[in-house]
Structure 1
C-alpha cells in the first residue's frame, strides 16, 4: 500500500505487467470503505447504516495478503486527518484488524486504538464492533491485548479532559465506562486517573471519602473540584445555582438533568459557551421556546458570533453547514414532532452573512475544476433529507468551488448543448440561484461538459456534474468521454456525477477509479469530492 502522495498511489499491475492507473485496486476499495463505508463508486448522502463484513471485501483480502499493518496505517490516517466522512467504518476496520489471526496486525491495531478512538463514544463503538464480530464464536473478546489497550486508553488521557468526557458520555452502544474499567482490569497509572476510576465504579460519595484525608496533588484537587461541581449540578433543583455552576465551570447540557433543560435561564447560560455547530442544530427549538426572541440579548450575542470571522474560524464551520441550517431554520418547523417557530429576521440575516464569511474555512485543493449544472429539468425540487432546493444547492456548491479554487470553470448545459451562464464567484447566493433557474430546460446529456472541455482545449482535473434528473441520458459513455479528455489534455481527470435528487443511481458499471456517483448532497459529499481530487480514495 503506497503512502499518500506517492506517484504510484493506487496503481495496480495488469496481466501484462504494465501499470493501469485507473484500475480499482483493493487499496482504492479500502480507502473508499474507510471514507464513506462502501467499497463501491456510489456515495449516498445521509446514509448512516452500520457496516459489516459484507461491505469489507477488499479489507479482508488485504489482511489475507499479510498487509494488516499497512491497513492499520490507512485507518489511522483517515481517522486523524479528517478524511473519513463516516468514522464508523474506521472503528469497524480497526476492530476487524484487532481480531485478525496475524499477531503483527493485532498489535498494530491495538497500538492505534487511542489515535482512532479519540473520545468515549468512539471507544464504545469499537468495543461493540468487536462484540458483533465475535458473535457465533466460542472465544471472548477480552483477551490480554484488549485489556491493556483499553487500560492505556484511560491512563494516557489528560485527567481533566477525561473527567469531562466520562461525565458527558457515560454510556453508548450498550457499554458504559464501568463495564470497560471492570472488564479491562484497569490499574490507574496515577492518582488523578485513580480518582476518576473510583468515581465511575463506586460513585461520588465513595470517591469523596477515599480522598478526603489523603495528601492530594494539584491535578487531583482540580479533578476533585470539577467532579464535585458536576455532582452538585445534578442534585440541584435551584435554577439560580444551576445557572451559576454552568457559567463558572463551563458545564455542557450532557452533564445536566432533563428537568434542568425545561428552564429558559439554564438554556441561556448554556448558549453562552455552546459550540456554534451545536447552536445551529437547535436554533428552531431555541426560537420556539422563546429563548431567542427578536431584540433580546441572547439573539444579539448569537448574531454577533455568527458574523464574527474569528468565531467561525475557531469553530471551523463550513459554508454548506450554515446554509443547510439556515434553510432548515427558515422552514419554521422541525422534521419530526410538532415544534414550530417564527424565524427571526436578524438571525436569518446573520446566517446569510456567516455563509460568506465562513469561506475562509474551506482549504483549497489546488486542482483544476469544472462545475457543470444540468438545467434541463426544473431545479425547484428539494434535496432529500434537507430543506434546501436543488437550485440553491447547485448554486451553493458552484460558489464554494468558484470562490475557493482559483482554477474553476462554471458551465450550464441543456437542450443538447452547453448554454451561456454568467454565474461567477462574485455573485451572492441569491444571484447565482436566479442565474441558474432562468435558463430554459431541455434534454439531459451529462457528457456534454466533458466534450466541451476537450473540444475547447480546457485541461480539467475534476469534472463535477450537478443534475436534478433521476435518469441520465448519455449521448456517449461517460467513461469513454473521460478517457478521451485524459488522452487529449494529458490530465489525470476524474468525474463526479452528482444526482441532487437521486437515492441510489450510479454512472455506469465501471471499474475506472476516477469515476464516482453522489446521490443527494450533504457536507460529507464535499469531503468525498475533496478526497477524490487529492487521490486519497
Structure 2
C-alpha cells in the first residue's frame, strides 16, 4: 500500500478492483456495462481516463458477452434501447450493433442483421452502420448477410416514406444512397419502390422516362412521383411563394429547401407548421435569430404547445439529455459551432424546462424517504456527458436529481466531495438555477461514503440513498457499501443504495452481492421508473 493516497480506502473484499482514480470498487457486469455504454457512450471520457480507452474497454465487454453465448441477448438489448429512445445518441448503439453483425457467432450475426431496420430507422443511421462496418472489420464488410439486410431496409419501407427519407438525408459521412445501392445490389420488390430506386441511381430524367412508360400508374406510384417532382421543383425554384406552396402541399423540410431561402422568415414560418419535433428543437436558435420566435408571436406559442405535449414528446422519442443540451445551447445565445447568435424567447425557455421533465417516463411517487447526493468533486466537472462540451457530469447529475425531487415529496438533497457541501436547491427551481448553483460549488476529492456517514451522524431516517457520481472515488477511510451497512445496523432501517453512473466506465460503488444496492445508468430515459421499482422492492 505504499502508493496509497492519504485517507484512501483499502479493498473491502477480494472481488474488488482498483478504479481509474486509484480507489477500490466493484466491476460492473458486462451486460450492465453494455447498457451504460449505449446510454452514455465514451465521448468526453472522465477526468482519470481518456475517451479512446473507455471506447476500447466497452468494445471488449461486448465481445465477452458474445463469447459467453449471450450475443442474441445483446442484440435484444440494443433493439430495446434504440426503439424505446433510451439513449441520447445513436453512435454507441450503432457501434454495438456492428460488433454483433461482424462477429463470428452465426446466431448473433443473424440476429444483428435481422434487427438492422429496427435500429437504423433513418438513412443517417444506415450510413453510420455501414461506415462503422468498414472501419471496424477486416475487408469491406459487404458480405451476403449485409447486402440482404440493406436490401430489406429499402424494400420494407413504404415507398412514399422511402422517397421522403432519401431526399431528406441524401448523404452522410461520405456515403450516398447511390453508393449503397451499387454495393448492396438492391433490387426493388414493388413498382413504387422501383421508381424511388431509379431516381436514386439515375436521377430526375430517368425517373420521368420510367414513369412515362407506365400506362396506368397506381396510387402509390402517383404519390411517389408527386413528392419527387416537388423536391426537384424546389431545388431549382427562384420564387419564394412557390417554395412556400411546395412546403405546405408536400410537407417539405429544411433539407429540401435551397440555402438561399433559409434566411427568410416566411419560409421558416411555413416549415414550422409541420416541422418534426427533433428538427424544431435543433432549429430554435435559427428561428430566434430571424425573429420568428418573437414575444407573443403565434410561432413561439406553437413551439411551446409542442414542447409541452406529452404525446408529441413520446412519439418523437426525444431523449431528456437532448432537451437539456438544447436548453443550455438556446440560453447561451449561440451554438458551439458557427457564428449564429440569437436572443432567447423566455416562454420557449420555460417550455424547454418543462419538456425536460416530461421527456422521462411518467413515474408514480413511492412515498419512500430519499436522500439524494450529488458528487461535486473535481472529476465531475471535467467529465462530459454524451460528448457534450457544455454539459458536465456534475450539471447532468443535478438535473437528474430534479426529476426525483419533483416526484417524491419526502426527499433531502446534499452535495459531497471529500466532505458534505450545502446545495440550496429545491424542486420548484428551473434548470438554469440548478445548473448555476451546482457549477459554483467548490470542488474537492471524492468520498462517496459521505451521504451515509452524514445520515448516520445526524440520525436522519432514509429508505433510499441515491448517489449521482462518475464512480471515480478514492478518498475516505470507509467505502460507500460499508458505510451503508453501518447505517443499517445503527438505525435498524433496511436502507437501499442506488448508484447513478454519469460516465461509462466499468466500475460501481454498489456491492453486487447485496440485494439492497443497485447500479444504473444516469441519463437513461427509463432511470426514474427503475429507481421507483427498486425502491418499492419490485426489482
TM-score range normalised by the length of the shorter chain: 0.7 to 0.9
Give 1:260's aligned residue.
261
Q: Partners of 1:442 and 1:27 in 2: how far apart?
A: 32
Structure 1 stretches lacking a partner, 5+ long: 1-13, 15-21, 499-503, 519-523
TM-score by length of 1: 0.75
- Tell me if structure 1 keeps the 8 A contact 2:304–2:351: no
1:383, distance to aligned residue in structure 2 (A) = 8.2
Structure 2 stretches lacking a partner, 5+ long: 1-14, 16-25
Q: Using a 3 Å threshold, how does the CA distance of structure 1 residues 51 and 75 change in structure 2: closer, same or farther? A: farther
Q: Partners of 1:90 and 1:48 in 2: how far apart?
A: 16
- Tell me if structure 1 keeps the 8 A contact 2:171–2:177: yes
1:382, distance to aligned residue in structure 2 (A) = 12
Q: Using a 3 Å threshold, how does the CA distance of structure 1 residues 313 and 29 change in structure 2: closer, same or farther? A: closer
Residue 397 of structure 2 is aligned to residue 410 of structure 1: no
- Tell me if structure 2 keeps the 8 A contact 1:328–1:388: no
Q: Using a 3 Å threshold, how does the CA distance of structure 1 residues 112 and 313 change in structure 2: closer, same or farther? A: closer
Query: What secondary structure sits across from 2:523 in the alignment?
Result: helix
Aligned residues: 492
Residue 273 of structure 2 is aligned to residue 272 of structure 1: yes
2:40 to 32, 36, 41: 36
Q: Using a 3 Å threshold, how does the CA distance of structure 1 residues 48 and 364 change in structure 2: closer, same or farther? A: farther
Give 2:23's aligned residue.
none
1:114-263 alignment runs, 5 A limit? 114-135=117-138, 137=139, 140-214=140-214, 215-263=216-264
Give 2:354's aligned residue.
356
Q: Write out per-residue CA displacement over residues 381-432 of structure 1, whole angstroms, 9 at most, x where no aligned residue.
A: 998956679998676443321113x375222257987688785545566887
Q: Using a 3 Å threshold, how does the CA distance of structure 1 residues 261 and 491 change in structure 2: closer, same or farther? A: same
Q: Using a 3 Å threshold, how does the CA distance of structure 1 residues 225 and 486 change in structure 2: closer, same or farther? A: farther
Q: Which has the higher contact order (CA 8 A, sep 6+)?
A: 2
Query: What secondary structure sits across from 2:186 in the alignment?
Result: coil
1:482, distance to aligned residue in structure 2 (A) = 4.3
Q: Write out per-residue CA displacement over residues 118-165 of structure 1, whole angstroms, 9 at most, x where no aligned residue.
A: 221111111222212334x5xx43222222211111111111111111
1:243, distance to aligned residue in structure 2 (A) = 1.1
- Tell me if structure 2 keeps the 8 A contact 1:280–1:325: yes
Q: CA RMSD in A?
A: 4.6
Q: Partners of 2:165 and 2:155 in 1: how far apart?
A: 14
Give 1:83's aligned residue.
86
Query: What secondary structure sits across from 1:56 in the alignment?
Result: helix
1:3-42 alignment runs, 5 A limit? 24-37=28-41
Q: Write out per-residue CA displacement over residues 349-391 of structure 1, whole angstroms, 9 at most, x where no aligned residue.
A: 34325523663442246676532246899x9999895667999
Give 1:63's aligned residue.
66
Q: Write out per-residue CA displacement over residues 168-206 of structure 1, whole angstroms, 9 at most, x where no aligned residue.
A: 111222322112222222221110111111111111221
Give 1:7's aligned residue.
none
Q: Partners of 1:336 and 1:393 in 2: how far apart?
A: 21
TM-score by length of 2: 0.75
1:249, distance to aligned residue in structure 2 (A) = 1.2
Report which stretch shifted further, 124-133 or 290-299.
Answer: 290-299
Q: Using a 3 Å threshold, how does the CA distance of structure 1 residues 271 and 134 change in structure 2: closer, same or farther? A: same
Query: What secondary structure sits across from 2:288 in the alignment?
Result: helix
Q: Partners of 1:419 and 1:99 in 2: how far apart?
A: 48
Q: Using a 3 Å threshold, how does the CA distance of structure 1 residues 474 and 247 change in structure 2: closer, same or farther? A: farther
Report which stretch shifted further, 165-174 or 263-272.
Answer: 263-272
Give 2:498's aligned residue.
494
Give 1:6's aligned residue.
none
Q: Partners of 2:251 and 2:200 in 1: how far apart?
A: 21
Q: Using a 3 Å threshold, how does the CA distance of structure 1 residues 120 and 256 change in structure 2: closer, same or farther? A: same
Q: Write out per-residue CA displacement over residues 491-516 of structure 1, whole angstroms, 9 at most, x where no aligned residue.
A: 66332366xxxxx8989897956676
